[in-house]
Each structure stands twice: as structure tokens, then as C-alpha cells.
């Protein structure tokens, strides 16, 4: 599976809405050691409180990938962000992107990246060749987070479990199935973007056979109750072959 090189420089653009920075915030909360600094296009943009730095400085401090960590409505890439992306590429940094619009769909960026030997990661489309699920039993232990709705904390719960289990010296790995999760982990499969036939097969690939004492903690998506996304949740349940399901529910 493709791996996004860390550490990151978090690009926050000129977004004012704190909710729009949830990807950058997720990375910062769960992988602070992988965040060299932040870069903003306006002094009143949202901030994570990370060291403010330009691309050259971040590169000098070891940043390997600039991550577009904010979402604007519509998931499109604002034209004036392109200049920053080009500067990062020219500085020899990879660029990772969770927006719907792909960096790899912009020919001038693809050319520039090839010229500078760096990679463009569109996490919604970052996946190996997929196949249908087999349902064949496999070794290793797996936890899947499920929920009574979308956006009830399945990613945070999964990452909190990983963190707590590692503190107990358990051999545990978070397996990402959504954009933010993939940027946190540096790898994964955006499960809602795969072809319907391959949902469970993608999960089998994401959390393959492992040592008997190894735990994969698989990030759930959607909910069996959700009119849009129940199919994705169902495919996750089959593909995960989980030993434990952790149910997430919004309090109140």
C-alpha cells in the first residue's frame, strides 16, 4: 500500500471557518510528532498554534509532504492555492490532498511533480488494485468501529483505541478508511470511493492476515441506519471479520 512520507507541513490556506480545518486538526491531535509546522495565506485564517513557517523553512526542518489540511465548500481546489502547491513541488516536497478535486487531474502539477521527482497524493483515489472480498478466515485480531450515524466519532474512537492499546504495549495499528484518517496514518483506502463490488475486498486488503497477537483497528464509516451509506457500513462489517465491534453514538 502507498505510504505518504512524513513529517508534514500543514497548509491551512485562507480558511476562516474552524470546522473547515478538521483534517489538519485531526492530524495535529493524533500525530503531533509528524507536524513540522503550519502555513497560512492570511493572518486571520484558522490556526492550529503550530510554528508558522514558509515552504523553504519547512523543507529545511525536514518536512517531506505538504498536506492541504482544510476543506472549502464544494471540495474544489481554489485557484490561488495552486501557487503554494507549485512552490512546495519546486522545493522538493510531496503534496497530499483530501479534496474531491484531484491534484493528479491538473496536468501542469503532474508535469511539475515529475520534473522534481515528488509525488502528488489524492487520498480519495489512493488505492491498490482491488478485488471482490473472499470472506476467507484470516489470522490476527481486528476491531471495527461502527456507529448509530455518520460523524459520531468513529475515527477519533479508533485512534484513541490505538493510542491506549499501544500504551498497554499491545501491538495495535489504526487502519484508515476516510480522507482524514488516511492523512493521519499516511496510508489507507477511502472506502466510500471504491466501486460497490469491491467494498469488502478493499477492507480485506487494508487489514490483511497478521500475527495472532496483532490488533488492527479499522475506522468505520456511515451507519447501518443511514439511508445513503448503509451499503458501505455493511461491506466494512463483512470485510473486517472483526473480533470486536465498538459502537459510537452521539451523546445527548
Under rule CB under 8 A, residue 133 binds a second copy: yes
Rounded CA-CA distance 174/224 in Å is: 22
- Sheet with 214-218: list strands edge to edge: 171-175, 214-218, 141-147, 244-248
Closest CB 176 distance from a second copy, rounded Å = 16
| ω into 28 cis (within 30 of 0) | no
Question: Around Cβ 1, how many Cβ atoms within 10 Å?
Answer: 13
Q: Which is nearer to a second copy, 195 or 247 (CB)?
A: 195
Q: State which of residues 194, 217, 242, 248 lies at the interface with a second copy (CB under 8 A).
A: 194
CB of 101 to a second copy, least distance (A): 16
From candidates 22, 87, 192, 210, binder to a second copy by CB under 8 A: 192
Q: Among residues 220, 138, 212, 204, which one has the least CA distance to residue 171? A: 212
**Shortest distance, position 239 Cβ to a second copy, whole Å:** 8
Residue 132 sits in the site that holds a second copy (CB under 8 A)? yes
Decide if residue 217 touches a second copy (CB under 8 A). Answer: no
Only segment of 91-99, 180-188, 209-217, 233-241 that touches a second copy (CB under 8 A): 233-241
Q: Which is nearer to a second copy, 21 or 199 (CB)?
A: 199
We find the least distance from the C-beta atom of residue 70 to a second copy, in angstroms, to be 22
Q: Quick one: which of 24, 201, 217, 242 contacts a second copy (CB under 8 A)?
A: 201
Whether residue 21 contacts residue 46, with contact meaning beta carbons closer than 8 Å, is answered with: yes
Nearest to 158 by CA among 232, 208, 220: 220
- Smallest gap, in angstroms, from Cβ of residue 136 to a second copy? 8
Contact status, residue 70 vs residue 21, Cβ threshold 8 Å:
yes
E strand intervals along 65-157: 65-68, 94-97, 120-122, 141-147
Task: Rule CB under 8 A: say whether 196 interacts with a second copy.
Answer: yes
- For residue 229, state whether it binds a second copy (rule: CB under 8 A): yes
* Cβ atoms 203, 219 nearer than 8 A: no
Q: How far is the CB of 197 from a second copy (least distance, A)?
A: 4
Among 2, 41, 231, 246, binds a second copy (CB under 8 A): 231
Instruction: Kindly state whether residue 37 participates in binding a second copy, applying the rule CB under 8 A.
Output: no
Are 133 and 191 spatial neighbours (Cβ–Cβ below 8 Å)? no
CA 34 to chain centre: 14
DSSP 92: T
Residue number with CB closer to a second copy (158 or 177): 177
Q: Find out whether 179 and 96 touch, Cβ atoms under 8 Å.
A: no
**Residue 193 touches a second copy, criterion: CB under 8 A:** yes
Which residues make up the interface to a second copy (CB under 8 A)? 132-135, 191-197, 199-201, 224, 226-239
Amino acid at each position: 500500500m502507498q505510504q505518504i512520507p512524513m513529517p508534514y507541513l500543514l497548509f491551512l490556506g485562507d480558511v476562516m471557518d474552524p470546522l473547515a480545518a478538521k483534517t489538519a486538526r485531526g492530524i495535529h491531535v493524533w500525530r503531533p510528532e509528524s507536524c513540522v509546522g503550519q502555513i497560512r495565506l492570511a493572518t486571520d485564517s484558522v490556526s492550529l498554534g503550530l510554528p508558522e513557517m514558509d515552504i523553504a523553512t519547512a523543507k529545511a526542518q525536514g518536512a517531506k509532504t505538504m498536506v492541504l489540511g482544510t476543506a472549502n465548500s464544494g471540495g474544489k481546489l481554489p485557484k490561488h492555492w495552486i501557487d503554494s502547491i507549485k512552490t512546495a513541488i519546486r522545493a522538493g516536497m510531496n503534496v497530499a490532498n483530501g479534496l474531491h478535486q484531484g491534484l493528479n487531474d491538473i496536468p501542469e502539477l503532474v508535469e511539475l511533480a515529475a520534473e522534481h521527482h515528488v509525488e502528488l497524493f489524492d487520498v480519495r483515489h489512493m488505492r491498490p488494485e482491488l478485488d471482490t472480498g473472499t470472506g476467507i478466515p484470516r489470522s490476527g485480531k481486528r476491531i471495527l468501529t461502527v456507529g448509530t450515524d455518520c460523524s459520531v466519532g468513529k475515527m477519533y474512537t479508533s485512534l484513541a483505541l490505538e493510542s491506549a492499546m499501544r500504551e498497554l504495549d499491545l501491538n495495535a495499528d489504526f487502519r484508515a478508511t476516510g480522507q482524514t484518517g488516511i492523512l493521519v496514518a499516511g496510508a489507507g483506502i477511502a472506502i466510500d470511493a471504491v466501486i460497490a463490488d469491491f467494498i469488502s475486498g478493499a477492507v480485506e486488503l487494508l487489514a490483511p492476515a497478521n500475527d495472532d497477537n496483532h490488533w488492527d483497528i479499522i475506522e468505520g464509516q456511515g451507519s447501518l441506519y443511514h439511508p445513503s451509506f448503509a451499503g458501505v457500513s455493511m461491506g466494512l462489517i463483512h470485510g473486517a471479520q472483526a473480533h470486536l465491534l465498538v459502537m459510537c453514538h452521539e451523546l445527548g
